[in-house]
Structures are given as C-alpha cells and as structure tokens.
Amino acid sequence: MARFFKEREENRGLAPGSLVFIGDKKVDNTRIRLIDYDQDALREEDLQSIEQGSELKETETVTWINIYGLHDVDLIQEVGDTFELHPLILEDILNTAQRPKLEEFDNCLFLVMKMLRYDESTKRIDAEQLSIVISDKFLITFQEKPGDVFEPVRDRIRKMRGRIRSSGVDYLAYALLDTVVDNYIYVIANLGTKIEELEEEVLAKPKPGTIQKIDRYKRELNFLRKSIRPAKEMILQISRLDTPLISSAVFPFVRDLQDLTIQATDAIETYREILSDQLNIYNSVLSNRMNEIMKVLTIFAAIFIPLTFIAGIYGTNFEYLPELKYKYSYFIFWGVMIVVASSMLVYFRKKEWL
C-alpha cells in the first residue's frame, strides 16, 4: 500500500460512519491492555473483553485502555457502544490513512496522529496510526500493533515518578503526546546525522550511489513533513481549546509541546534545504570533474592532431620501411596497440574517470 496516499476503495460510496478497516493487518489477534490508577493504587492487566473495563467509566481513578490491532471491526464497534463514542470516531480509527487531526465531541476529544520510527534495515521511516479518545474519566488509545514509545510513561506510572499519578486524564494525554513528539525529534536527529555525513561524501568524492542517497533522504523528509506538520496544527488547536476536559494546569505543558513541534518542523525544512544544496554541490562537482577530464582529453587531442595530419598526408609511402620485412612486425603492431589502449584504461581508472 502506498505510503503517501492510501486508496479507499473499501468504503467508497458508503454512508458516513460506516465501519470499514482501511490499511494493512499488522497483528493476528487484537489485545486490550488496561492501566487504572490513582495516587494510592495501580491496576495493570490484559482484558479478555472490553466489557471488563466498562465498570471503570464512572470511577474516580484514571483509566487508560490501550487496544492493539485495528482490523477487528466488531471489537471497535463494541468499544464505541461501551464508551458511547460517535460513529465518525470509530470510522476514523479504522482508517489508518487518516490525517493527524483533532475533533471535539460532546463527551470527549478525539485525536489522530502518527507514531514514527526509522527502520535501519530498510532505510525507511515507518508510520503507525495512533488514535486517542480523551474523556473526563478515561483515555483510550488505538494502535495498529504492539510496540510503541509509551513505555517511559508506563514506567513513570508504575514508579510514581513526577506528577502523573496525582494528575488526571488530561495530563496522561499530554504525557502520551509529549512522548510521541519527543520521538519525532529523535527520528529527525537520526536522519539529520546521516544527511550531514552525506555532505562530507558529496564534497570529497561523490559516487554514483550518492544521488540515490540524496533522493532517498528527500523522500523520507517529505514523509516526515506529511506526518508532523498536521500534528503541529493539531497541538496548536489543543492549546486554544475551551473545554472542561483539559484543566488550566495542563495548558502550559501543551504550549511547551507546541514549541517542540515547531522545532521539529523547522528542522525538517532545514534538512530539506541542506539536501537541495547537496544536490547542487553534487552537480557542480560532477561538472567540474567533467571539465577536468575534457581538459586532459583536449590536451591529448591537441598533441595528436598535427601528428595525424602529417601521417594523413604522407601515410607510410616511403621506399624503405624495415618493419615490413621483419617477420614479427604484425604481432608487434598489435602488441603496441594493446599496450597503448590498456595503459589509457589504467590511467583513466586511476583518475576515477571510469
């Protein structure tokens, strides 16, 4: 399936709110993970069904339900019925090609963004859709597969680090968003290091594979840009919300998060400019190198043009040509030609013209 735009053949012509999974199935079985806590107690376990977490809707504790795997449409429908979620929320959860966004409903906030990681084996950035439902009593996250960047948040909850155990659902939502954005910075820095190392290669000895690296890094930066710029707009929307679901104590943290997204987008634009400069430098280096080659070849041509002219006029029409009567003249002639051609090839390869 395409990375930049996914086809939506499955739900074409269907009514709004129709539940159809769009994307790649990344797990065989869905998993429901519960973390429920307050200042004094912590409950963490896997749930066999979503009904097991329904009793926590009205408790005073903070309830975080994390669902791995989005292909089970019946489970998503059950989550929507249990927690009274709007059908449009469920439709967007199942569409893994959803653009990062924020929507405000009567009983909750709904956020969509991308979790990113750089895969060293494929040299590509992988994206996973993250959907978050924020209510006054509970928070539900929907992921395509297990494995995420949230383990530091879980660790803070378990070890009662910071203010997370004494704060509400809104602070938990901030902590999750903060972790996702911090990972954006990490991915950009990792890719940026490779781009800066490529600059040394471009200036020193550009190779045929250099242009492929530049093109690949530009493609990955465009993919980053597509995922992070809407996320920046979404966090800006959060900072301007007037909703009881986010307390005034959390808004300063959200504004700080907004600064991080601005830093991330600025870094992306900077690296895109660096790659454009590297492409120009690459072309200039190749052009200068070609000029040097042409200069040497022109010198060779200038030397042999008058010799060729003289040979063309007189040829070998002389009365005495000792080589014609020598038994091995023919073989010597071919030997000289092979030696000259081989010497030229060795010279060109040594100069890295070939």
* pLDDT number for residue 182: 94
CA-wise closest residue to 25 among 91, 73, 67, 70? 70
* pLDDT number for residue 7: 58
Segment 1-25 shows an average pLDDT of: 66
The radius of gyration computed from the CA coordinates of the chain, to the nearest angstrom, equals 33
Q: Which of 12-16, 146-150, 278-282, 325-329 has the lowest mean pLDDT?
A: 12-16
Question: Is the confidence at residue 26, as pLDDT, over 90?
Answer: no
Q: Are residues 213 and 135 in the same domain?
A: yes
pLDDT band at 187 (very low <50, low <70, confident <90, very high): very high
d(CA 350, CA 288): 18
* pLDDT number for residue 316: 66
Q: Which of 56-65, 228-237, 303-312 has the lowest mean pLDDT?
A: 303-312
Q: pLDDT of 154-181, one tens digit each?
A: 999 999 888 999 999 999 999 999 999 9
The answer as to whether 208 is a domain residue is yes
The answer as to whether 181 is a domain residue is yes
Q: Are residues 65 and 187 in the same domain?
A: yes
Q: Are residues 208 and 333 in the same domain?
A: no
Q: Are residues 131 and 259 in the same domain?
A: yes
Segment 215-244 shows an average pLDDT of: 92
Structurally, the chain folds into a number of domains equal to 2
Characterise 231 by phi-psi region: left (phi > 0), alpha (psi -120 to 50), beta (else): alpha
Question: Is the confidence at residue 14, as pLDDT, over 80?
Answer: no
* pLDDT number for residue 233: 93
For residue 141, the tally of other CB atoms under 10 A from its CB is 21
Question: Is the confidence at residue 119, as pLDDT, over 90?
Answer: no
The answer as to whether 310 is a domain residue is no
* pLDDT number for residue 6: 59
The answer as to whether 35 is a domain residue is yes
Segment 81-101 shows an average pLDDT of: 91
The distance from CA 44 to its chain's CA centroid, rounded to whole angstroms, is 32
Domain boundary among 259, 283, 307: 283
d(CA 108, CA 85): 8
Domain boundary among 256, 283, 310: 283
Question: Is the confidence at residue 271, as pLDDT, over 90?
Answer: yes
d(CA 346, CA 354): 9
Q: Are residues 270 and 348 in the same domain?
A: no
The answer as to whether 313 is a domain residue is no
* pLDDT number for residue 223: 92
The CATH number assigned to the domain holding 196 equals 3.30.460.20
Q: Are residues 157 and 253 in the same domain?
A: yes
Q: Find out whether 148 and 166 touch, Cβ atoms under 8 Å.
A: no
pLDDT band at 344 (very low <50, low <70, confident <90, very high): confident
pLDDT band at 269 (very low <50, low <70, confident <90, very high): very high
* pLDDT number for residue 162: 85
Most confident range, picked from 38-47, 115-124, 286-295: 38-47
Q: Are residues 330 and 193 in the same domain?
A: no
The answer as to whether 307 is a domain residue is no
Domain boundary among 283, 304, 338: 283
Alpha helices, DSSP H, located in the chain: 51-54, 73-83, 87-94, 151-159, 169-204, 208-239, 251-314, 322-325, 329-350
Q: Are residues 263 and 333 in the same domain?
A: no
Q: Are residues 70 and 216 in the same domain?
A: yes
The answer as to whether 17 is a domain residue is yes
In this structure, are strands 42-47 and 62-68 parallel, antiparallel, or unpaired? unpaired
Alpha helices, DSSP H, located in 205-321: 208-239, 251-314
Length of the chain: 354
Q: pLDDT of 49-66, one tens digit each?
A: 898 888 888 788 999 999
Residues above pLDDT 70, as percent of the chain: 94
Please report where in the chains the tokens 């966090």 appear, as a residue. 235
Question: Is the confidence at residue 10, as pLDDT, over 70?
Answer: no
**Between these two residues, 70 and 204, which has the higher pLDDT value?**
70
In this structure, are strands 138-143 and 62-68 parallel, antiparallel, or unpaired? parallel
Q: Which two tokens stand for residue 279?
A: 């492409």
Note the pTM of the prediction, 2 decimals. 0.80
d(CA 354, CA 344): 11
CA-wise closest residue to 137 among 98, 102, 169? 169
**Between these two residues, 139 and 2, which has the higher pLDDT value?**
139
Q: Are residues 330 and 263 in the same domain?
A: no
* pLDDT number for residue 272: 92
Sign of CA pseudo-dihedral 176, 60, 111, 66: positive
Q: Are residues 259 and 338 in the same domain?
A: no
Segment 214-230 shows an average pLDDT of: 92
Question: Is the confidence at residue 13, as pLDDT, over 60?
Answer: no
Distance set, CA 11 to CA 8, 26, 66, 159, 165 (Å): 6, 20, 26, 44, 41
The distance from CA 219 to its chain's CA centroid, rounded to whole angstroms, is 8
For residue 192, the tally of other CB atoms under 10 A from its CB is 17
* pLDDT number for residue 80: 93
Segment 307-314 shows an average pLDDT of: 77
Mean pLDDT of the chain: 87
Domain extent, residue 353, equals 318-354
Q: Are residues 79 and 163 in the same domain?
A: yes
